[in-house]
Amino acid sequence: MTGLRDQLHGLWLPLVTPFQDGALDERSLRRLTGHYCAHGIDGLILGATSGEGMTLRAAERERLVAVVREEMATAGRNLPICLGLSGADTSRLQERLDETADWPIDGYLIASPYYVRPSQRGLRAHFEALADHAAWPIALYNIPYRCAVNISNQTMLRLAEHKNIVGLKDCGASREQSIALLRDRPKGFRVLTGEDANYFEALSDGADGGIVLSAHVETATFAAIYSEHKRGNHDAALARWHEVDELTRLLFAEPSPAPAKYWLWRSGLIDSPEVRLPMVEVSSELAATIDREIGRRMTIAA
């Protein structure tokens, strides 16, 4: 068992998966990995929502993990990796846990079963069955606006008692629920926000960090916001937050991760802004807005 419970804090990046001509773009993936290893992130999520995991074939998912881990070794920074998994069939997910048991990962990020809308008792049984089966620790992913079911705090606290369930990516969209969970959670159960626009707010409420798509851009600023919070420098953290709060809205102006991929392409970090259907690339209007914002930030940096 790895030390994911101790590693699940700070700024985690839900890495986009670069594609070119319909295939996994390994050259861009290596470039991305090397770039972010040199910046202030604390871990990577691979193949989840931002990584278009629902469109990845099994072989692509395995290659994604292998390439990232190889490039980390080259960079000399062995960051923890969580593999994103999702599905509405518990037994099939158990098979996927078996298939990935010997991969060079540190844990899983597993979303609630979508579409079927199980009861809270069903959610608990589902996640406990997965946690009993998994070779690596599990972080839960509560995102009711995608899965059509919310993991209640009562259920969450029961799941947090399981030795193989170590934390949560919180996209519950209820600050009241999040604050109550942070107050009542057992020691060592990590809570990271997954809502970019609420990153500063969640840290102020006591979250252990964030899994932040927008940190693909201005990575050092998002890392500094966390660091200033940890040091108790609220005003300094707020000042840094004001540098990026509008960015978190821009990168979600159209379905994610298309805006982030366009930005990364225009910045030269990936060779194509390609996404896989049913995702589509950004509109010409948003592309123009992003181009202007890139130019503005380059002018400020100069």
Backbone angles phi, psi at 185, to 5 degrees: -60, 150
Q: Is 143 annotated as a binding residue?
A: no
When computed from its CA atoms, the radius of gyration of the chain, rounded to whole angstroms, is 18
Backbone angles phi, psi at 39, to 5 degrees: -115, -175
Catalytic residue list = 141, 169
The C-alpha atoms of residue 252 and residue 99 are separated, in whole angstroms, by 33
Tokens representing 62 are 């395995």
Cβ atoms of 257 and 275 within 8 Å: the answer is yes
Cβ atoms of 157 and 184 within 8 Å: the answer is yes
Tokens representing 151 are 């993991």
Q: Is 152 annotated as a binding residue?
A: no
For residue 88, give every residue at least 6 positions away whose Cβ sits within 8 Å of its Cβ, in sequence order, or none. Answer: 113, 114, 115, 116
Binding-site annotation, residues: 50, 211
Binding site membership for pyruvate: which residues? 50, 211
